[in-house]
Chains A and B, each alone.
Chain A
């Protein structure tokens, strides 16, 4: 017989982040030092790149699609404040300089008569990504993620998932992985 509190403490003391995750977190903190000379955005983007490099190695492809879908759905539901509000897509290509790729407008945007509202930087499974908000022809907001299709992310195929009331679609276009999150009709 042992005291229950002792067992609860032992249980939580056994919980540790993976070595890769711990390294990522240390890197995030380490990159925060020279804040006087760098903008917050630059620091965030640099940290995201570090996360991307380490995370892409550590994630297994088997659950990567689920992880991406869950993150995309959560991002859609959160509706976080946009860093850039624009009238047309080309403005994003000019403004989002901290990405490690040039965002491209997918063909479906035109086909579905979607209108861009704005965007923000984010990470998708550790990789720096553009989170772009559109409204469709009916005024329903949709969130499109664009991220470089490299390393582990290159293994993601086209597909669809439904999570937390959000329909998430994956496809590859112009060298980028596209992830679209929209409400389930």
Chain B
């Protein structure tokens, strides 16, 4: 069956582009859940929700849908999701420090698992997806200053969790 068009893409490009979209969505979901099975369920739910709503298959809508489904799914379970933050903007410097290999020994995985979903989400969007603070603010409906502050604190917290302070 043909796939509904994704903005800017030609039909012949769709399979690869769809896979890239789904894998990107999965990684975003994983940044929220830090659990592979839950991330798969979340992306699957988001696909169904997008079909139901008729939303266009672009990354921004897809990520927003994943995020909304995540909130819907877990907010009522009284889990800590997105903590309130002050809106001050902090000085951000040296956020990308030199580090020993914390990926291979599993320290990074454990440290990321200790962060809360909002911290992991912001880190993922900024570092992996390359979103600007403005773009993250739009996606997460938070002030830009809050995003900058959260990113700063998250990096600081991550460094502490990795034992690199």
Contact = CB atoms under 8 A, between A and B. Distances in A.
Interface in A44-69: 44, 47-48, 51, 67
Interface residues of B, number: 52
Interface stretch (A32-40, A142-150, A175-183): A32-40
Contact of B108 (A8, A18, A67, A126): A8
Contact of A16 (B26, B51, B101): B26
Contact of A15 (B36, B51, B158): B36
Interface string B66-104: 000000111011100000000000000001111111110
A77 B100 CA distance: 43
Given A2-B99, A3-B97, A47-B51, A25 B44 contact: yes
Most buried by B among A13, A16, A25, A79: A25
Nearest to A25: B22
Interface of chain A, helix or strand or loop or mixed? Answer: helix
Contacts of A43: 51-52
Most buried by B among A11, A24, A40: A11
Contact of A7 (B23, B50, B101): B101
Contacts of B48: 28, 44, 47-48
A20 to B, nearest CB: 9
Interface of chain B, helix or strand or loop or mixed? Answer: helix
Interface in B94-137: 95-103, 108-109, 112, 123-124, 127-128
Interface of B: 1-4, 15, 18-19, 22-23, 26-27, 30-31, 36-37, 39-41, 43-44, 47-48, 50-52, 54, 57, 72-74, 76-78, 95-103, 108-109, 112, 123-124, 127-128, 155, 158-159
Interface of A: 1-5, 7-13, 15-18, 21-22, 24-26, 28-35, 40, 43-44, 47-48, 51, 67, 71, 73-74, 77-79, 126, 164-165
